[in-house]
Amino acid sequence: MPFLFLSYFKQYEINSNNHSIMDIKVEKLTKNYGHHKAVDDISFEVKTGEILGFLGPNGAGKTTTMKIITNYLNCEQGDIIIGGKSIRDNAEELKKHIGYLPENNPLYLDMPVIDYLEFCASLQGVEKSKIPERIREMVRVCGLNAEKHKRIGELSKGFRQRVGLAQAMIHNPSVLILDEPTTGLDPNQIIEIRKLIRELGREKTVILSTHILSEVEATCDRIMIINNGKIVANGTAETLRKQAQGQEILTVKIEDGDSNAIFKAIQELPTVGLVDFTDRNLNRFEVQSRPGCTSRREIFNLCVKNGWILTELAVSEAKLEDIFRELTVN
Amino acid sequence: MNNTTTKYFKNMNSVWIITKKELNSFFDSLIAYILLVLFLGFSGFFTWMFGSDIFLIGQATLRPFFSIAYWSLFIFIPALTMRMIAEERKTGTIELLLTKAVSDRQLVLGKFLAAFLLICISLALTLPYVITLASIGNVDNGEVICGYLGLALMSGVYIAIGLYASSLTNNQIVAFLSALFIGLFFHIIFDILANNFKGSIGEFFNMLSLSNHFESIQRGVLDTKDLVYFLSLIFLGLFLTENNLAKRKVNG
């Protein structure tokens, strides 16, 4: 399979000379469902050649935003500009340049894969003479060769997901909107699809949403976390980490002392904000410093003063999971 | 060709792609065959063999067929249209379609055309009836042509109503029953009401009654009044369907 992907990339670069630049610009987008604000005054920009990872808990407004960009839902307040054209006036024209994989990957289960891809290609205005070539390419890229004559309903979930990706890319769109593209795939397939998306992202504008945090780190150039319809973080994984690392977190193990006494002593240190037992029997603690302070030296000195033995001192790096939790748990 | 005509042809192209796909799925899912067998069997049986059939009347007329088809199409069409939008909504494929280069209107038109063509095919398959009849006696050609036209127009109206009912709900059975319910008014209830009221109210119901207009066409007289009636009902049904589809844009 990996070889097939590689050969695709080569061909892809030849085919994509006529690719236009299509940046997505979302301006003050707001969407109400009755009294509930699904999306609340969101503004962001995605450049051509960039992959934006859309993160957020369920119901945060990711899917709604994507549905508005793809013109399935109305853009009531605010505006979306794709390639310099507003979606308000040019919706029908812009749809041709967008490839979309909806959430849950709906498909016509009684259609054979090939017929389905042909249907999608002709709907998207691919020239009739080029349709067979595009289908062949998509079948190869998505690894559907053995399944291409089966009905979609007979395929396993992973293969259906590939069909979903194939139909999104069949017309070689400049903009790709993927709502949870790797659900249902096995780890090997996930790696392949991520690789494919990364490669496509070089010349396309890609927005993908996901729940899997490692996926965002592996695939995306930029991460945007939204919660309750608002953007709570926007930047690369590095910048987000730096932002979250305001407070140092240490894992400490101290031996040869009474656990309660150690606990008390650490808590009384001026730089320490919070102490917690992670394992009372092993005298292991989690120490959170005050913002902007480090307690490593103080803890060492404390041990020396009391004759305790410091057997473990580790700085835990803020994980993306922690950042996510911190930003989205209210 | 100027710009607007090219645009028009491109629009029709999308409609035709949808129509082809829908027709294919009718035949793939056997719905089309079941419809054809049922319709031809049903109408053939009552036209030639049973009840007030052609031999009982003893005239070379297709009236028995038209009155049977008038009822059988009324019931078959909602069964044909019930899944057309309801199923797409339930499985979410409608999102897939409408985010491609297809407008709501093209989708509705394409689906309408597919069902209409299938009905036209089943009507065309009854042409042997006409040929048989012509070999028995003198057939009034005008009457036959108008009868078929009347059936086609009536089918158009019920397809439009069926699509509208299908766009109301995710549930196919609900779509089927509500299409029958709405259709029943045009099919028979307005006629009954027209007979029970006098003066302008009776006149009004008479104007709304589909059976009334159908009979008028079936007599072999093509009146603009009847044409306008059928076409405006089709237009109204499709317009409301499109309107219903567009509601998703606000409510999600």
Question: How does pLDDT run across B46-60, given as a tens digit for each residue?
Answer: 888 877 777 777 777
Domains in chain A: boundaries: 2-235, 243-328
Residue A7's pLDDT is what? 44
Query: Under an 8 A CB cutoff, do B96 and A67 touch?
Result: no
Q: Does B103 touch chain A (CB under 8 A)?
A: yes
Tell me the C-alpha distance between A161 and A164, whole Å. 5
Where do the DSSP E strands lie in chain A? 24-33, 36-46, 51-55, 77-82, 85-86, 98-101, 175-179, 205-209, 222-227, 230-235, 249-255, 272-279, 284-289, 309-315
Residue B7's pLDDT is what? 65
CA B99 to chain centre: 28
Q: What is the pLDDT of residues A96-123, one digit of tens each?
A: 899 999 988 899 998 999 999 999 999 9
Closest-CA distance, B167 to chain A, in angstroms, reads 16
For the cut 90, the answer to whether the pLDDT of residue A158 exceeds it is no
* Helix A113-123, helix A131-141: angle, nearest 10: 130
Query: Under an 8 A CB cutoff, do A106 and B100 touch?
Result: no
Average per-residue pLDDT for chain B: 89
Q: Which of A225, A265, A285, A273 is nearest to A247 (CA)?
A: A273
Return the sign of the alpha-carbon dihedral for residues B12, B14, B17, B21.
Answer: negative
Query: Under an 8 A CB cutoff, do B95 and A67 touch?
Result: yes
Q: Does A102 touch chain B (CB under 8 A)?
A: yes
Closest-CA distance, A97 to chain B, in angstroms, reads 9
Residue A125 structure tokens: 């205005």
Residue B162 structure tokens: 């069926």
Q: Does A111 touch chain B (CB under 8 A)?
A: yes
Residue A246's pLDDT is what? 62
Q: Pick A106's closest partner by Cβ from B10, B95, B251.
A: B95
Nearest residue in chain B measured CA to CA from A90: B101
Residue A12's pLDDT is what? 42
Average per-residue pLDDT for chain A: 83
Give the Cα-Cα-Cα angle A235, A240, A241 (nearest 5 degrees): 150
Residue A8's pLDDT is what? 45
Specify the fold of A243-328: Alpha-Beta Plaits (3.30.70)
Q: Does A73 touch chain B (CB under 8 A)?
A: yes
Residues in chain A: 330
How many domains is chain B partitioned into structurally?
1
For the cut 70, the answer to whether the pLDDT of residue B1 exceeds it is no
Range of the domain at B209: 3-251
Q: What is the pLDDT of residues A161-181, one digit of tens each?
A: 889 989 999 998 999 999 988
Q: Does B12 touch chain A (CB under 8 A)?
A: no
Strand duo A272-279 + A309-315: pairing: unpaired
Closest-CA distance, A66 to chain B, in angstroms, reads 11
Tell me the C-alpha distance between A262 and B114, whole Å. 80
Q: Which of B102, B26, B73, B117 is nearest to A70 (CA)?
A: B102
Q: What is the pLDDT of residues B160-205, one digit of tens each?
A: 999 999 999 999 999 999 999 999 999 999 999 998 988 899 999 9
Residue A330's pLDDT is what? 63
Residue B6's pLDDT is what? 66
When comparing pLDDT for A242 and B133, which is higher?
A: B133
Percent of chain B with pLDDT over 90: 59
Give the Cα-Cα-Cα angle B36, B38, B40 (nearest 5 degrees): 65
For the cut 60, the answer to whether the pLDDT of residue B44 exceeds it is yes
For the cut 80, the answer to whether the pLDDT of residue B68 exceeds it is yes
Chain B partners within 8 Å of A123 (Cβ): 14, 17-18, 97, 100-102
Q: Does B93 touch chain A (CB under 8 A)?
A: yes
Residue A253's pLDDT is what? 87
Closest-CA distance, A5 to chain B, in angstroms, reads 26
The question of ipTM being above 0.85 is answered as: yes
Q: What is the pLDDT of residues A13-57, one digit of tens each?
A: 434 444 567 889 898 888 888 888 888 888 999 988 889 998 888
Per-residue pLDDT band for A157 (boundaries 50, 70, 90) equals confident
Name, of A41-45, A210-214, A288-292, the range with top average pLDDT: A41-45
Tell me the C-alpha distance between B17 and A116, whole Å. 12
Per-residue pLDDT band for B3 (boundaries 50, 70, 90) equals low
Tell me the C-alpha distance between A129 and B173, whole Å. 41
Between chain A and chain B, the number of residue pairs with CB atoms below 8 A apart is 68
Q: Does B17 touch chain A (CB under 8 A)?
A: yes
| Options 3.40.50.300, 3.40.225.10, 2.30.40.10, 3.30.2310.20; CATH of A2-235 | 3.40.50.300
Query: Under an 8 A CB cutoff, do B17 and A122 touch?
Result: yes
Q: Pick A74's closest partner by Cβ from B25, B93, B250.
A: B250
Name, of A1-15, A279-293, B6-20, B211-225, the range with top average pLDDT: B211-225
Q: Pick B101's closest partner by Cβ from A92, A110, A115.
A: A92
Query: Under an 8 A CB cutoff, do A73 and B252 touch?
Result: yes
